[in-house]
Structure 1
Amino acid sequence: MRTRAITALFFVIIVLASIVLNAYLFAGFFMVLSACCLYEFYRIIGDAHGKPASWLGIGLGGLLFGLYAGYRLGDLSPNFLLAIVPLAAVVFIAPLYQKDSDKPFAGIAYTYLGVVYVVLPFLSFFALGFLEGIYDYRLPLGFMLILWGNDTGAYLVGKFFGRRRLFERISPKKTWEGLAGGILLALVVSLILAHYFTALGVWKWIGVALLVSIFGTFGDLVESMLKRSQQVKDSGAVLPGHGGLLDRFDGLLLAAPAVLALLKIWLSLQNPG
């Protein structure tokens, strides 16, 4: 328990520092983090049914993240994003030279699935910092605090008061009481954020909190479904007492795209045309 707490404290400090200090650190840290999570995904998903081209997928995801970050930071033209096209084609060509590849298209599908499942959500989270063009750490910071609030509330309430199973077939420990506790604490965090971070109004922060809670919970369940289907307990062991990085950020994978879409819609309604 002590190891778990110490690991969590140091990791939280690193994540928060990467968001708050400057845009380049934010981009670099989350690009590396997405690559590490993608590596863990490929380790889990590869089996007799198909083996992803792990390093090609990581290269493709890293290039996509790096080029998009360069565009957002104002260092690259959006045309540079076309550089991913040749590497995307190589993912299809590589199996031609792999003699032990019995199901090449399953491997190709797994490779691209990793980019869609891991890298695009991290890109969505990164894009929250540039919602109105220039970097503003308040939205990604608020998102992360709400996500952690949801996880903490769900864990504590579920542990002490959980009775009714939420999705026993996939995750036996999750309960409806835990879900309610997560939503409640996420809403409390959102109200605090609305007081200090006025970039969004109170009701918009509440909307973000609800989306993070709901899609974050589904993100957790989806990753549990992945691990259960592959008979894996943790995505990795890089965080003592916590498992892998993918285990820590599974809630982000569905919540970040949902929140980005919601905020983009609100922004377009505020500034039509």
Structure 2
Amino acid sequence: MKTRAITGFFFIIVMLGSVLLGHYPFGIFYLVLCLLCLHEFYGLNIKSGIQPNRAAGFINAVLIYGIFAFITYQDSPLLHKLLFLITISISAIFIQELFKLSVSPFTNIAYTLGGLVLVCLPFTFFHALAYVKGAFNFHFPLAFLLMLWSNDTGAYLVGRAFGRTKLFERHSPKKTWEGFIGGVLIAAIVGFIISLYFTDLPWNQWVSIAIIIGCFGTLGDLVESMFKRSINIKDSGGILPGHGGLLDRFDGFLIAAPIVYTYLYFVVNV
């Protein structure tokens, strides 16, 4: 427990620092984090006997994250043309399988692309949160993290104290409806508190974002649990002592980040 608490403390400090230090540290930090999570995802597949094309996956992840990061920072026709590089790099994943001796080439292709969808795209959308109103604004990614953590903590504490009814036992036996509801309510309270300091949005929209994070963050957690169970692995890694792997810490990103960005994009630009 002591190791878990110390790791969690330093992890939170690093995460908050990456958001508050400005445009370049923010972008670079989450690109590195994206690649580490992707490395973990592909490593788990390899342990289960699948052979994703890691090199092609990393190249595509850098292109997808990098090009969209530059577009959100400073949109220009040249950057839109660079998007077509992704068509070439994605095609390379299929072409390379032609030259490999594999009994299940399309399984390898599917998991290579799956890593980009499951890991790279959520980090890309999370990075874009800072630019949803144009110029860099740390309020949105910071608020996202605070509400996500409050939902996770609330769900754990309420579920441990009052949890009786299983939420989705097939994929996550410890999760309960009571914990889920408690997590969403606590995230909503944190969302309201955030609205008192970050006046970019009215309080009801911050609370709406908190509810979205609570619902879809939980779904992301379940998706990651489903993935680990499908390959018969408990923890995604051991890079964080007492916490498991990076994917275990960022499972709430998987669905919540794209959904929250989509919500903000249409709310801010109406």
TM-score (norm 2): 0.95
Tell whether 2:20 aligns with 1:2: no
What letter corresponds to residue 60 of structure 1 in structure 2?
Answer: N
- 1:259 aligned partner: 260
- 2:54 aligned partner: 54
CA contact (8 A) 2:38 2:120 kept: yes
What letter corresponds to residue 195 of structure 1 in structure 2?
Answer: L
What letter corresponds to residue 42 of structure 1 in structure 2?
Answer: Y
Mapping for residues 178-189 of structure 1, pairs under 5 Å: 178-189=179-190
CA positional deviation for 1:84: 2.3
CA contact (8 A) 2:73 2:134 kept: no
Report percent identity of matched pairs. 48
After superposition, the C-alpha distances for 1:53-90 in whole angstroms (9 at most, x for unaligned) are: 11211221122112222233339733222222322121
In structure 2, distance between residues paired with 1:41 and 1:231: 14
CA contact (8 A) 1:50 1:104 kept: no
In structure 2, distance between residues paired with 1:177 and 1:48: 34
Q: CA RMSD in A?
A: 1.5
CA contact (8 A) 1:38 1:114 kept: yes
- 1:115 aligned partner: 116
* Unmatched tracts of structure 1, length 5 or more: none
Which of residues 75, 83, 86 is equivalent to 1:84?
A: 86
Mapping for residues 96-107 of structure 1, pairs under 5 Å: 96-99=98-101, 101-107=102-108
- 1:158 aligned partner: 159
After superposition, the C-alpha distances for 1:192-237 in whole angstroms (9 at most, x for unaligned) are: 1000000011010011000000000010011001111110001111
SS in structure 2 at match of 1:250: coil
CA contact (8 A) 1:194 1:201 kept: yes
After superposition, the C-alpha distances for 1:9-45 in whole angstroms (9 at most, x for unaligned) are: 1011101111111111110011111111111111223
After superposition, the C-alpha distances for 1:160-208 in whole angstroms (9 at most, x for unaligned) are: 2211111111111111111111011101110110000000110100110
Q: Which has the higher mean CA deviation after the structures are superposed, 230-239 or 74-83? A: 74-83
Mapping for residues 108-257 of structure 1, pairs under 5 Å: 108-257=109-258
CA contact (8 A) 2:37 2:246 kept: yes
TM-score (norm 1): 0.94
CA positional deviation for 1:47: 6.6
Q: Which has the higher mean CA deviation after the structures are superposed, 44-53 or 65-74? A: 44-53
After superposition, the C-alpha distances for 1:103-123 in whole angstroms (9 at most, x for unaligned) are: 111111111111011111111
Mapping for residues 25-44 of structure 1, pairs under 5 Å: 25-44=25-44
SS in structure 1 at match of 2:252: helix
CA contact (8 A) 2:48 2:231 kept: no
CA contact (8 A) 1:49 1:103 kept: no
SS in structure 1 at match of 2:248: helix
After superposition, the C-alpha distances for 1:92-135 in whole angstroms (9 at most, x for unaligned) are: 11112212x11111111111111011111111111110001110
Q: Cα 1:240–1:51, aligned 2, differ >3 Å: closer, same or farther?
A: same
* Unmatched tracts of structure 2, length 5 or more: none
SS in structure 2 at match of 1:174: strand
